[in-house]
Chains A and B, each alone.
Chain A
Amino acid sequence: MIFHEYSLIFFTVLAQTAVGGYLLVSARALAMGFDEAKINSYKVPMFALWAIMGLGFLFSITHLGSPLRAFNSFNQLGSAWLSNEVFFGAAFFVVGGLQWLLSVLNKGGAAVQKILMIGAMVLGCIFMYSMVNVYMINTVPTWFNIYTPLSFVMTMVVGGLLLSQLVIVSAKDSRFTVDRNIVMLAVVAVAISLVVTVGKMNLVSEVQSSIIKASELVDGLGGYLSVQVALLLAGLLIWVLPMINKSSVNPVNLTVALVLILASELIGRGLFYSLHMTVGF
């Protein structure tokens, strides 16, 4: 089984998807100069995004052996990446969540909401940067390599792209060119994601210590990889099929695609944690 670290698997994948989606939706809102009414029209689909983020945080707390001491995780803010991750993740959630609350309550005006949006985007980026660094430990050769940042960023890009489109389409703010452009980006992003997965497995085949071979850590590694790739491609197919058929994407096909692609990412992250080893024992 590769899901013994299920809480971290769900936390990281859901957080990366939510932050990726938030960055894209908010960047678009800022770039297109949304007015207050327009921002507020996103309140329902954005609830889904924050629910995904919130679910991620719930999973992260189940990871702790002593959840009642969760606040101690802030103690090493500034010197331990895990503290930074928790702090900036929480800050992203609070600032972004406040912006969402204002959009629900029709309060604050466009300027205040946009300032909060920019704040949440910056915090989200620091959150993601910290999350990568949590795993960049020089005694863990299967994590301490370029594929950790690459695979985390690709989860943000693929998951975020799909979630942002789901949000935009659900807010009834899409049109053919927007959908087409996102779908074209999706094909490119999934292709890069596959290259990263192949590259990572190539590296894993070479990593070993005196007593551990990385390639022997997971029983049926090839099988898991096949399912991961198959789910990713199936998700992509369902994602882009309406555009190939010259109809329009809709929340239903996008949701199905999101479920399939998240499942693929969860398997990939399961393998990431299962491939943990150190340079020693």
Chain B
Amino acid sequence: MKQYGFYIDSSKCTGCKTCQLACKDYRDLDVKRNYRRVYEYAGGGFVQDGDTWIQNDVFSYYLSIACNHCSNPACVKVCPSGAMHKRQEDGLVVVNEEVCIGCQHCSNACPYGAPQFSKEKGHMTKCDGCYERVADGKQPMCVESCPLRALEFGEIQVLREKYGTTADVAPLPSSHLTLPNIVIKLNKNAKPTGDTTGYLANPKEV
């Protein structure tokens, strides 16, 4: 089975959120919904040395996360209507908006915040990997928009051959839970999954 995924270069990402906004514009999303979100994980502090404060272990890095089109998607497992499904042809996790009843249980289960409820539509919506664009040989809108070239999209096997298999970094959950189809190039300040020394610096933006 073909399986698409994302490569996310956290060492390049500057947190500019062009990906988030390009997606928002292309998919015509309201204020509350963002199919791609840029999380800023920050922490550390300064220490006093006599009369001066010196930088001790201050860190901050960005993770641009959409839907990871997991191989073991938590959202699909709990969906009562079958609207949330994994496509056979490309492995993308898509919600059938004609079937979804809007119970929002998928968003309870997903640890990445991918399924998002549209109050206006009365059902769930989410990143579908721009499967229509992809079928036309184009890239998803977020990938195409990234000015840093920090995002790539393609068959996950190819991405893993090129960039390795890292999918664990704070504040993402352990990848064994849902088997996300992402490859991450770590920022030099990256903290391991489970790290609690940092905090989400932009909670209102995601």
Task: Decide whether A and B assemble into one complex.
Answer: yes
Give residues in A with beta carbon < 8 Å to B: 63-67, 69-70, 72-76, 80-83, 86, 134, 137-140, 208-211, 276, 278-281
Complex Cα–Cα for A280 and B110 (A): 8
What are 28 residue pairs bridging A and B, where the CB atoms are less than 8 Å apart in the complex? Answer: A64-B101, A65-B117, A65-B121, A65-B124, A66-B123, A69-B81, A72-B81, A72-B99, A75-B81, A76-B82, A81-B78, A82-B78, A83-B80, A86-B80, A137-B74, A137-B78, A139-B109, A139-B178, A209-B171, A209-B173, A210-B41, A210-B196, A210-B198, A278-B108, A278-B111, A278-B173, A280-B112, A280-B172
Q: Are A75 and B99 in contact (CB under 8 A)?
A: yes
The yes or no answer to B129 lying at the interface (CB within 8 A) is: no
Query: Nearest Cβ distance between residue B44 and chain A, in whole angstroms?
Result: 14
9 nearest A-B residue pairs (beta carbon): A65-B102, A280-B111, A210-B171, A82-B80, A65-B122, A279-B173, A280-B173, A278-B111, A72-B81
Most interface-central of B103, B122, B177, B195 (chain A CB within 10 A): B103
Complex Cα–Cα for A280 and B65 (A): 12
Q: Are B173 and A66 in contact (CB under 8 A)?
A: no
B100-120 CB mask vs A (1 if < 8 Å, else 0) is 111111001111110001110
Q: Are B101 and A65 in contact (CB under 8 A)?
A: yes
Question: Of all chain A residues, which has the CB nearest B74?
Answer: A139
Q: How many residues of B contact A (CB 8 A)?
A: 48
Most interface-central of A72, A76, A208, A276 (chain B CB within 10 A): A72
Q: Are B101 and A279 in contact (CB under 8 A)?
A: no
The yes or no answer to B32 lying at the interface (CB within 8 A) is: no
Query: Which residue of the partner chain, among A66, A73, A75, A210, contacts B195 with CB atoms under 8 Å?
Result: A210
Query: Nearest Cβ distance between residue B37 and chain A, in whole angstroms?
Result: 8
Question: Of all chain B residues, which has the CB nearest A71?
Answer: B101
Complex Cα–Cα for A86 and B80 (A): 9
Chain B residue contacts of A134, Cβ below 8 A: 78, 105
Q: Are A63 and B103 in contact (CB under 8 A)?
A: yes
Chain A residue contacts of B171, Cβ below 8 A: 209-211, 280-281
Question: Of all chain A residues, which has the CB nearest B198?
Answer: A210
Question: Of all chain A residues, which has the CB nearest B191?
Answer: A210
Question: Of all chain B residues, which has the CB nearest A75?
Answer: B82
Query: Nearest Cβ distance between residue B105 and chain A, in whole angstroms?
Result: 6
Query: Nearest Cβ distance between residue B17 and chain A, in whole angstroms?
Result: 16
Q: Are B101 and A69 in contact (CB under 8 A)?
A: yes
Complex Cα–Cα for A263 and B162 (A): 58
Chain A residue contacts of B105, Cβ below 8 A: 82, 134
Complex Cα–Cα for A76 and B102 (A): 15
Known: A63-B103, A278-B173. A76 touches B111 (CB 8 A): no
Q: Are A80 and B79 in contact (CB under 8 A)?
A: yes
Chain A residue contacts of B122, Cβ below 8 A: 64-66
Query: Which residue of the partner chain, among A67, A74, A80, A276, contacts B108 with CB atoms under 8 Å?
Result: A276
Query: Which residue of the partner chain, among B39, B81, B178, contacts A281 with CB atoms under 8 Å?
Result: B39
Question: Of all chain A residues, which has the CB nearest B83?
Answer: A72
Query: Nearest Cβ distance between residue A277 and chain B, in whole angstroms?
Result: 9
Complex Cα–Cα for A67 and B123 (A): 10
Most interface-central of B65, B81, B193 (chain A CB within 10 A): B81
